[in-house]
Amino acid sequence: MKKKLLSSLFFILFGIAISYAQSADLGRLLQERDQLYHAYDSLGKEKNAFFGGRSKKDLQNMILALHRIISKDNEIIREVRRTSYQKESNLFGQNRASSDRIYDLDQQVTSLTNQLKRKNTELQDQQAAMGDLLGAMRKLQIGVVVLTALVIGIGFYMFRQRRK
C-alpha cells in the first residue's frame, strides 16, 4: 500500500514538475528523488531478521529513507511554487505593460479626437468666412458691372450729345 501511495505521489509530483520543467534545478531534484525512492525500494526488499522478517534496523533505515523522500518532495514543491510564482510575475508584468500600452493608446485616441474636433470647428469657421467673402465679392462684382454699365451708358450719352 505504501509503495503504491509513494509511487502515485511520485508520478503526481513528476507530472506537475514536467509542466514546470523550465528549471534545471527541478530536473535535478526529480532525479535525486527517484534515486531516493529506489534506495527505499531496495531497503524494503531486505529482510535481515531471524526467520526472514524485517529487523528493527531495516525498519529504521526504511523510515529514514522515507524522511529523505519527504524532504526531497518538499524541495520539489518549493521549486515548483517558485517557478509558478516567476511565471505569474512575468504574466503580471506583461499584463501591466499591456494595460499601460492600452491606456497610452486610449489617451492618443482621445487627443487625436480632440484635435480632429478642433480642426473641424476651424474648417467650419473658415468655410463660413469664405461664404461671407464670396457673398461680398459677388456684391462687389455686381456693383462693378452696374458701374461699368453706367459709365458706358453715360459715355454713350455724352458721345451722342456732342454729335448733335
Same domain (yes/no): 6, 70: yes
Percentages helix, strand, coil for the chain (3-state, rounded to 5) are 90, 0, 10
pLDDT at residue 14, as a whole number = 56
Flag whether 106 is in a domain: no
Q: What is the pLDDT of residue 25?
A: 84
> Is the domain of 7 the same as that of 83?
yes
Residue 52 pLDDT exceeds 80: no
Tell me what pLDDT residue 92 has: 82
What is residue 76's predicted lDDT score, i.e. its pLDDT? Answer: 87
Report yes or no on 54 lying in a domain: yes
Q: Are 88 and 31 in the same domain?
A: yes
Mean pLDDT (the chain) is: 84
User: Which one of 96, 112, 145 terminates a domain?
Assistant: 96
Helices (H), 20-55: 24-45
Domain-embedded: residue 136:
yes
Query: What's the pLDDT score for residue 6?
Result: 56
- The reported pTM is 0.47
DSSP state of 1: -
What lies within 8 Å, CB to CB, of 66 at 6+ separation is: 6, 40
pLDDT beyond 80 at 19 = no
Contacts of 75 by beta carbon, 8 Å cutoff, 6+ apart:
29
Q: Could you give the number of structural domains in the chain?
A: 2
For residue 5, the SS3 value is helix
Q: 117 in a domain, yes or no?
A: no
Full domain range(s) for residue 149: 129-164
pLDDT at 21 over 80: no
